[in-house]
Amino acid sequence: MKLTRLLKVGMSGEDVKYVQTILKSQGYFKGEPLGNFGTLTKEAVVWFQMSHIGKSGQPLGVDGEVGDMTWWSLHNPSGKTQKSGIQPLLPTDLTPLRLNIVTIAEGEHAIGVHEVPDGSNWGDGVTKYGGQPGWAWCCLFVCWVWKQATGSYPFGRLQPSTYQAWQYAKAQNWFKPVNAVVYPGDMFLMQYKNPDGSYAGKGHIGYVLRVGKTGFNTLEGNCGNRVKCGYRTFSQSSLVGFINPYPAPENKIDGWEFGTLSADDVSKAGTV
């Protein structure tokens, strides 16, 4: 199909139907592909954008509209084109629990956990994280890793909702804004805002692996339909902050390795 226009709420046509069909095949759109770009389609686009990169290798902007970069990602939603190429090198001098968390998360990346069939939100190693077939599983992955390390879930139960996880974290005084000090092992949290400024309840979550001046490396589930090591910036519009559920001794970090890795940084590749 020839791609000739930006798609957004209120538009209709065969190209909208085409987008809905792709989103449905990837587990994001729950309606019928009828060619009308309404609220359900926008929500599906938002969820897709939060968990995919564009042709440049950078995370997509999250605006609920289908522009050039989102068009590209819709045609390349998984597999090699969605790989960051970043080697998940663990930072040095972490406290024991933080090291255990990122080690477990990295282990899931190392064995290549991904959806089977593609776009199903299920299958392969994804199933062990809990939930049900078709559920978005980024928060399930975060919960599973935490339970493996501590014996209990971080949000009181197996929590599939990033929004509910956020509310729980705020009630426990675990949540901190984007400009706060961030440590490896913290959880990053993304949420999409409606035009009126309210939160739509659509989000994405994962673990911080490494921290730099302008961004951070991640270990996150349900990104490109698999467990992925990626890179996100502190300026990403949908990033609302970080969750730090660690006990006080785990927040006394001294000398941990600062700096992020990119796909081009191969100097330490193979050391993990």
Q: Give the type of residue at 255.
A: G
Note whether 34 and 90 are same-domain residues: no
Note whether 188 and 204 are same-domain residues: yes
Note whether 128 and 197 are same-domain residues: yes
Mean pLDDT check: name the lowest of 188-192, 204-208, 259-263. 259-263
The verdict on residue 259 lying in a domain is no
Give me the residues paired with residue 232 across strands: 216
The verdict on residue 272 lying in a domain is no
Left, alpha or beta for 204 (phi > 0: left; psi -120 to 50: alpha)? beta
Sheet strand arrangement including 239-243:
175-176, 239-243, 187-193, 199-211, 215-223, 226-233
| Cα three-residue angle 28-122-223, rounded to 5 degrees | 55
- Please name the residues in contact with 46: beta carbons below 8 A apart, sequence gap of 6 or more: 62, 63, 64, 192, 200, 202
- Please name the residues in contact with 99: beta carbons below 8 A apart, sequence gap of 6 or more: 90, 185
The verdict on residue 2 lying in a domain is no
Three-state SS string over 52-85 comes to: CECCCCCECCCCCCECHHHHHHHHCCCHHHHCCC
- Quick one: 264 exposed, middle or buried, by C-beta within 10 A (0-12, 13-18, 19+)? exposed
What is the mean predicted confidence (pLDDT) over 141-159? 98
Give the SS3 label for residue 206: strand
The verdict on residue 59 lying in a domain is yes
Q: What is the pTM of this model?
A: 0.89
The verdict on residue 267 lying in a domain is no
Note whether 93 and 143 are same-domain residues: yes
Tokens linked to 196: 């009126």
For the domain that residue 40 is a member of, what is the CATH number? 1.10.101.10
DSSP string, 86-115: ---PPPSS--HHHHHHHHHHHHHHHTT-B-
Note whether 147 and 196 are same-domain residues: yes
Note whether 184 and 93 are same-domain residues: yes
The predicted pLDDT at position 270 comes to 28
Note whether 86 and 199 are same-domain residues: yes
Note whether 148 and 123 are same-domain residues: yes
d(CA 175, CA 75): 36
Of 25, 55, 77, which residue is a domain's last? 77
The verdict on residue 142 lying in a domain is yes
Of 28, 45, 77, which residue is a domain's last? 77
Of 55, 77, 99, which residue is a domain's last? 77
pLDDT at residue 271 above 50? no
The predicted pLDDT at position 29 comes to 93
The verdict on residue 69 lying in a domain is yes
Q: By C-alpha distance, which of 136, 114, 179 is closest to 29?
A: 136
User: What's the structural domain count of the chain?
Assistant: 2
| pLDDT tens figures, 243-258 | 999 999 999 888 889 9
Domain containing 41 equals: 14-77
Note whether 164 and 125 are same-domain residues: yes
The verdict on residue 271 lying in a domain is no
Note whether 100 and 204 are same-domain residues: yes
Measured torsion, CA atoms of residues 61, 82, 218, 90, in degrees rounded to the nearest 10 = -150
| pLDDT tens figures, 8-18 | 999 999 999 99
Confidence of residue 272 (pLDDT cuts 50, 70, 90): very low
Q: Which long-range contacts (CB under 8 A, 24 or more apart) does 95-100 make?
A: 95/246, 95/249, 95/250, 95/252, 95/253, 96/250, 97/149, 97/150, 97/185, 97/246, 97/247, 97/250, 98/183, 98/184, 98/185, 98/246, 98/250, 98/253, 99/185, 100/149
Note whether 54 and 96 are same-domain residues: no
Note whether 140 and 213 are same-domain residues: yes
